[in-house]
Structure 1
Amino acid sequence: MPIFVSRELASMRVFLRSILLGCAGLVAPLAFAAQVNGLYQVTEAVSSQQPEERAQALQRAFDTLLLRLTGSDLEGGQDELAALRKNPQPLVRQYAYEGDSLVVDFDPVATEQRLRQAGLALWGQNRPALLLWWLGRAPGNVEDDGAQLIGDGQAGAPMLREAARHRGLPLRLPLADLQEQLLATPETLTQADAGTLHDASARYDADALLAVLASERDGEWSAAWRLWLGEENTQGKVAAPSQEALADAVLLAASRFIAPHYVVAPGAAEQIVLEVSGVDVERFAELERLLGAMGATLSRMDGERLVYRLQSRPEQVRAQLRVAGLHELEHEQEPAMAEVSAEAEDEPVEEGTLMRFGW
């Protein structure tokens, strides 16, 4: 469906946007995908500062970054990727030693360019906010007094945040107050129906839920986990020699499940005309943040209905909008916007795949 924008509407759009964004600060935002900070900075443990050890740490750092950006191990064959794995130095902006770790800052532009040249599908910085319900023993607690829910500000929180940071996921933790401690039983966290957990998670504005039941036996740690993303869910089990390694393994599994919903392969993007209905002030502010991260531009405003244009894949647009609570509309559900207006007869037609969503 072609859509036109008059010069008068373009001016009005700027005026209305400034008013709406000014009012948006007065209301709380809805849940939406979060921006990941430090995505291109990787920390790897080292045993020395010898050149050989540094070279190996740089290779490990590149592999970690590759997992963050693709959600896949990519164990194979591209010559371009193999060369980068062997010598990632051209992508490194700087590195420094901090204690027993090497901190590597990769150049975002050069890295993305080289990976796309290798034909890889990449995952951007805008990612679903993940709420983690972790039931296990807090680090440093050697008493066998049963598992507890690890909440924000508690002893185990830094361990979980570091694991999420290492795997490129924006993490949120529950408060773990008395009510939530009573709620977070092994039965609640492992059941397929997440209704109770979803109700308890509503106040955290998360896009995905991850429930983990961790345990230790004879020095070996294991965990059963279940993850919900929109209408989809998955589960699994992992084992590790320490709690830190266990947390990293769980967050890695979560990343591998979530990433395919958002990666965009080179050349896979297409021109999309996105129509969103039922937009009020609060929802307009959310759309600007969410679609702005996807490079969308506002094309038309018609009451509570907005039209954007962007380059993406329909599957990625659906995934992004679903985590924000929108649902896709059938084309016959509502009358389409007027295709031509008297003021827009000399405007160019916007071509592209039409997608229609609403609240």
Structure 2
Amino acid sequence: MMCKVEVNRIRMRQIILLVWLAFVGVVGSIAITPSVSHAAVELKELYQFRVQVNSQAPRERQQALQEALQATLLKLSGDSQLEGHPLVEQALRNVRDFVVQYGYQQDEQLWLWVQFDQTQVDRLIQQAGSGIWSNLRPQLLVWLVAEDDDLRRQLLGADSEAIVVQQLRNAANRRGLPIQLPLLDLNDSMTVSVIDVWARFMDTINFASARYSPDGIVVARFYRTDPSMITEQQPQRWSGDWTLHIGELRWSGTVRAMDRSELGALVIRDVTDQLAARYRIGSASETLQEWTVTIDQLLRLEATIAAEQLLSSMPAVMDAQLVSYNGRTAQYKLRLQADPARIRQAMDLSKQLQAVTDETEDGDAVFRWVEQP
């Protein structure tokens, strides 16, 4: 239970925040809740990977190629369960069948760089019962409060060198999840406190997050496990919980580990699993479906071509063809090996496609093209 001093301080902060918001409302129209514009990050080179090696020995090269394929499958699917699938295990034994080219790179360390065959890798993921996560990934802002051994709580930001933050970043990079941590500069310190994040005061957190324009917000808390919860079956001394907010969508979860430094990677694992389960696109159906997509505001021929290329690049889109164009609006016919609703979710994350309406009576979709600077 919070003491009276803490309660009074929180109330005072809320009053100051309300006064500030009222002032902002008078000065100009500024949204205080970060809008989810779905301006997701587009990942590049998803079928390439680098593995640090000690030598160019054949045995070490084979192990590095297997590690690279495992990492590529994880980044493409976001599916933590994929690694143990019999088809994947077989593919790892025959990893060279999936390699297009590889080579060694030397800087301060020696690296094995490898590029995999996209068609074969995609087929492997689909046959293993999973799906491809589009290269459009939501940018997440992570607010993290961690307790130490003395139960002192600290907000960890972008400049933190804590091992738990390093592991969190490494896990996000490995899984293809774009994240950022707050700067915790003067602007942040005037707006949000450790108590605000620990108590998950989302109005305050949303206001502080607006300057970063994220697609979603993760609030994570790390703390010592309640001694009464430690058993022989669950001996982990550290626990964590997290919530993920993307627009109106909400997810939450808990993690446990023997060492606090492991919690960040575990949170990223769970967050990625939840997001990928929503956005990855499977193609278990052997029957191709047709879907019509109309895009407005295509004022240049180059934009019309770019839109067709974007549609063609979506997972499970076997073909995208321009069927009509009137100098402003184009209509495309897509052949899909998946439910159009799954493709629609991936398209909603695009910076260049802005949904205009829900599906028409015929099940078609209408978007507005947004030119990028």
2:139 aligned residue? 129
TM-score (norm 2): 0.62
Per the TM alignment, residue 355 of structure 1 is displaced from its structure 2 partner at its CA by: 2.1
1:303-333 Cα offsets, whole Å, 9 max, x none, are 986544434442223323444664643647x
User: CA–CA distance in 1 between the matches of 2:71 and 2:90?
Assistant: 16
User: CA–CA distance in 1 between the matches of 2:49 and 2:238?
Assistant: 25
SS at structure 2 position matched to 1:147: strand
Picking from 264, 274, 293, the partner of 1:274 is 293
Per the TM alignment, residue 274 of structure 1 is displaced from its structure 2 partner at its CA by: 2.0
1:63-86 Cα offsets, whole Å, 9 max, x none, are 3332222222136655x4331133
Matched ranges for 1:227-242 at <5 A: 227-242=244-259
1:164 aligned residue? 172
Q: Which amino acid aligns with 1:310?
A: L
Residues 100, 233 of structure 1: alpha-carbon distance in 2 compared, 3 angstrom cutoff: farther
Residues 164, 76 of structure 1: alpha-carbon distance in 2 compared, 3 angstrom cutoff: closer
Gaps in structure 2 of 5+ consecutive residues: 1-36, 228-235
Per the TM alignment, residue 256 of structure 1 is displaced from its structure 2 partner at its CA by: 0.7
User: CA–CA distance in 2 between the matches of 1:176 and 1:291?
Assistant: 39
User: CA–CA distance in 1 between the matches of 2:213 and 2:238?
Assistant: 30
1:16 aligned residue? none
1:246 aligned residue? 263
Per the TM alignment, residue 270 of structure 1 is displaced from its structure 2 partner at its CA by: 3.1
Per the TM alignment, residue 240 of structure 1 is displaced from its structure 2 partner at its CA by: 3.3
1:107 aligned residue? 116
Decide whether the 8 Å contact of 1:32 with 1:290 is kept in 2. Answer: no
Per the TM alignment, residue 107 of structure 1 is displaced from its structure 2 partner at its CA by: 1.0
1:257 aligned residue? 274
User: CA–CA distance in 1 between the matches of 2:55 and 2:256?
Assistant: 28
1:222 aligned residue? 239
Q: Percent identity?
A: 27
Q: Which amino acid aligns with 1:166?
A: R
Gaps in structure 1 of 5+ consecutive residues: 1-29, 333-351
User: CA–CA distance in 1 between the matches of 2:332 and 2:284?
Assistant: 21
Per the TM alignment, residue 167 of structure 1 is displaced from its structure 2 partner at its CA by: 1.1
Matched ranges for 1:36-55 at <5 A: 36-42=43-49, 55=62
Residues 354, 116 of structure 1: alpha-carbon distance in 2 compared, 3 angstrom cutoff: same
Decide whether the 8 Å contact of 2:138 with 2:178 is kept in 1. Answer: yes
SS at structure 1 position matched to 2:153: coil
User: CA–CA distance in 1 between the matches of 2:224 and 2:117?
Assistant: 39
Which is further off, 122-131 or 180-189?
180-189
Decide whether the 8 Å contact of 1:167 with 1:248 is kept in 2. Answer: no
User: CA–CA distance in 2 between the matches of 1:55 and 1:246?
Assistant: 31
User: CA–CA distance in 2 between the matches of 1:196 and 1:298?
Assistant: 46
Residues 120, 290 of structure 1: alpha-carbon distance in 2 compared, 3 angstrom cutoff: same
User: CA–CA distance in 2 between the matches of 1:271 and 1:195?
Assistant: 43
TM-score (norm 1): 0.64
2:334 aligned residue? 310
User: CA–CA distance in 1 between the matches of 2:56 and 2:145?
Assistant: 38
Per the TM alignment, residue 245 of structure 1 is displaced from its structure 2 partner at its CA by: 3.2
Which is further off, 56-65 or 244-253?
56-65
Aligned alpha-carbon RMSD (Å): 4.5
Per the TM alignment, residue 220 of structure 1 is displaced from its structure 2 partner at its CA by: 5.1
Per the TM alignment, residue 199 of structure 1 is displaced from its structure 2 partner at its CA by: 3.8
- Number of aligned positions between the proteins: 302
SS at structure 1 position matched to 2:252: strand
1:257-280 Cα offsets, whole Å, 9 max, x none, are 111222222364632212356899
Per the TM alignment, residue 291 of structure 1 is displaced from its structure 2 partner at its CA by: 4.7
Picking from 343, 346, 352, the partner of 1:320 is 346
Residues 107, 63 of structure 1: alpha-carbon distance in 2 compared, 3 angstrom cutoff: closer
Per the TM alignment, residue 236 of structure 1 is displaced from its structure 2 partner at its CA by: 1.0
Q: Which amino acid aligns with 1:165?
A: N
Per the TM alignment, residue 210 of structure 1 is displaced from its structure 2 partner at its CA by: 1.8
Residues 322, 118 of structure 1: alpha-carbon distance in 2 compared, 3 angstrom cutoff: closer
SS at structure 1 position matched to 2:46: coil
Q: Which amino acid aligns with 2:178?
A: P
Q: Which amino acid aligns with 1:237?
A: T
